[in-house]
Amino acid sequence: MTNPIQTCFTGGCRRCRRSRPGCGDYKSRLVFMLIITITVALPLAAKAPRYPVLVPGETVQGIILPANERGSYRTYLLDVPSTASLIRIRITEANADLDLYLRHGQEMDDYDQADFFSESDAWLEELHLYKVYETWFPTGRYYLDVAYIWDEMPREDGKSFSSIPFSIVYEVFDADELARPLVPGEPIDLELNRDNGYLSHFTLDIPRRTEAFRIDVLDTPGDVDLFLSRKVPAPVRDDYLVIADTFLGRETIQMTGENRFIDAGRYYLTVLEATSPELPVPVRLSAELGTDPPFSAPVLPEIPIPGDGPEAVRLATVQLVNSAGIGSGCLVSSDGLILTNHHVVVDDGGKEVPEIFVAISLDSYEAPKELFTAEVIRSSPENDLALVRITGDKWGRPLPAGYEFPVWRLGDPEALNIGDPLLLTGYPWMGSGLSRSYITLTRGILSGGELTPSGLILKTDAVIAGGSSGGAVSDGRWRLLGLPTFVVSQDAAQLTYFVPVSRIPRDWRHLFR
């Protein structure tokens, strides 16, 4: 149901608290009338709010008219229930750039007082508030301003708009209403999409004398996070018991008891794809009692071993995911050795990460599959190189006997000449319009090189981005020449620097086979 409402500015701009022009000339004559008006109006004001109230799910039509000086706006009220896990406010129609400003409990004198806001360049502005990502998200009444912040009204064909019509909808995603049971040992398939706010809620009942349980995202092409609480289904972030929102697409939560047994009873699980991609995200989810790998975990696929060419490049270039970030790597031995940059496998303090997850692109047009775990076995900070060994599958199970990986063949980077063509392969963050990085190949030429105190470093005009570090620089015969390491940019220009494979320490090479 729609509710057409027009904006009235006869009271002046409340941003600057200015009175209506000429009010002082009439004060003495209006005192008696004001007393009578207030006496009559107070009981009515107690019954009706000053501003229209947005009802969840109902689209409201409004009009913004020109203001005096500080911009034009329309104020609404909305109520957030305690069980809300997400509220979404959307401008669904507008012919100008409108912004959204939200404040709890009271009006705004200026927009620096807004608790939450959305002021992008998009005309159809959206404000998404996930309780799991907020440390402060009180329930109750909020004041919402739909604002046109520019000094002049928009123009078309040389004429200023006389008004800005718009439509807005307020949506509440209620954790109590959305929750469904997750039964240990019974995997469930779900879809996160725009209609459900890219989130889903579950209840999980744990029996007495349980020593441990685990929750696993068994499969998804998205970046799905898990949030586990005990008392209520949708608390603020600080009140969750366990949060799994790392760089992994497929997260895991494991719970073990401090005094042997964990607390029995009901737990509440939130499953969320917070990047809100345009496409629906399928998810396969399971809960199991105990800490053993989930019974329903996918079987490790056999990886093809192609010859040279694009397919070999795709399969031998992997994505490395750890607690510090995401990078790329190159398989250099059939038993699972990966060459990458040292900075890919260390945290912000320079300490090597204890566990690495390895993802492989089994299909050029699908997100890489997080299939393996790995650990650092060699590092050379001065060359920005590290050697990583695959130790098992993603669930901690050992690799099957005789399991083999495709590998890169090493080339001779010192035989390169300036102008020779180069191919760069990796997993840049900008390599997908979705929430995961897809394998991406770019091309360029050898642009030059520099002798540094640490050794030779080469450069190319091929484009890379964050996440490509540790990937592959190859020649036209698909031989590995180096690892893209960092970028130097100025304005729109970019040079990519890469460490040549000639700087691999000699005592590492005997491990390649």
Tokens 């970030």 map to which residue? Answer: 325
3-state SS, one letter per residue, for 427-446? CCCCCCCCCCCCCEEEEEEE
Domain range 179-289, CATH architecture? Sandwich (2.60)
CA distance linking residue 242 with residue 222, whole number of Å? 20
CA-wise closest residue to 298 among 278, 309, 308, 284: 284
φ/ψ of 272, rounded to 5, equals -140, 135
Q: Can you tell me the distance from the alpha carbon of 422 to that of 420, in angstroms, rounded to the nearest whole number?
A: 7
Looking at residue 70, its pLDDT comes to 47
Q: What angle do CA 156, 160, 165 make, to 5 degrees?
A: 85
| Residue 137 in tokens | 């998200």
* 3 state SS of 345: helix
Domain 5-173 in CATH 3.40.50.1110? The answer is no
How do beta strands 242-244 and 225-229 pair? Answer: antiparallel
Two tokens at 366? 């699908």
Rounded to whole angstroms, the Cα distance separating 39 from 412 reads 91
Start-end ranges of CATH 2.40.10.10 in the chain? 317-393, 409-509
> What is the spatial distance between Cα 437 and Cα 325, in angstroms, rounded to a whole number?
12
Select from 167, 207, 135 the least CA-distant residue to 3: 167
Radius of gyration of the chain (CA): 29
Sequential pLDDT tens for the chain (513 residues): 433 333 332 233 333 332 223 334 433 333 334 344 444 444 444 445 689 999 999 999 999 988 754 468 999 999 999 999 999 999 999 999 999 999 999 999 999 999 999 999 888 999 999 999 898 899 999 999 999 988 888 888 888 888 999 999 999 999 988 899 999 999 999 999 999 999 999 999 999 999 999 999 999 999 999 999 997 888 889 999 999 999 999 999 999 988 889 999 999 999 999 787 778 999 999 999 999 999 999 999 999 888 778 899 999 999 999 988 999 999 999 999 999 999 999 998 989 999 999 999 999 888 899 999 999 999 999 999 999 999 999 998 999 999 999 999 999 999 999 999 999 999 998 645 567 889 999 999 999 999 988 899 999 999 888 899 999 999 999 999 999 999 888 777 789 999 999 999 999 998 987
Residue pair 276/225 in contact by the 8 Å Cβ criterion: no
In 290-361, DSSP assigns E strands to 317-322, 325-331, 337-340, 356-360
Compute the Cα dihedral for 280, 286, 292, 298 and give only its sign: negative
| Intervals of CATH 2.60.120.380 along the chain | 5-173, 179-289
Farthest-apart Cα atoms in the chain, separation: 99
Task: State whether CATH 2.40.10.10 applies to domain 317-393.
Answer: yes
31: Cα separation from own chain's centroid? 58
* pLDDT of amino acid 34: 39
Burial bucket for residue 69 (CB in 10 Å: 0-12, 13-18, 19+) = exposed
Nearest-5° Cα angle at 70, 65 to 72: 20
Q: Please tell me the distance from the alpha carbon of residue 228 to that of residue 205, in angstroms, as a whole number.
A: 12
Q: Which CATH number is associated with domain 409-509?
A: 2.40.10.10
